[in-house]
Amino acid sequence: LRGLGDASPNGGPAGDLLITVRTKEHEFFSRQGLDLTVRVPITVAEACLGGKIEVPSPHGILTLTLPPGTSSGKRIRAKGQGVHTKDGKQGDLYAEMMITVPKTLSSEAAEIVKKLATELDQAPRADLRFQ
């Protein structure tokens, strides 16, 4: 702010007032332009089977449809649910799925997971080339 700083100690005119604004990162949202991203934890069952999930937004709770077979990192766009400006521009909200797994399993649950692993017979790293 030009001229609103302290007066010069040598009798000259007041200097400029400089203001530094620092913002703290939000607990849930990250921002890029007008778009927001929120990381959403989902269960293995939700990832495999899909379904409706609730997601926070700056405008309230949204219900999104999670498609079956969703992997971690999949982003679902909620159009117009990002940052809104005074001139009417609207960003989007991107919900980024993060599959969570339990830290411990009962022996019965471990057996179910082993059976599922053999039933699915996946090779998710088959295309990776190691040197």
Closest CA relative to residue 26, chosen from 34, 38, 14, 18 = 38
Local confidence pLDDT in tens for the 131 residues of the chain: 888 888 888 888 889 999 998 888 888 899 999 999 999 999 999 999 999 999 999 999 999 999 999 999 999 999 999 999 999 999 999 999 999 999 999 999 999 999 988 888 788 888 887 76
Is the pTM for the entire model greater than 0.95?
Answer: no
Expressed in angstroms, the distance from the first to the final Cα of the chain is: 58
Number of helices and strands in the chain (H, E): 2, 6
Distance of CA 96 to the CA centre of its chain: 5
Query: At a CB cut-off of 8 Å and minimum separation 6, what does 95 contact?
Result: 37, 38, 40, 55, 64, 75, 76, 77, 78
Q: Identify the residue whose tokens are 């699915």.
A: 120
Note whether 59 and 79 are within 8 A (CB): no
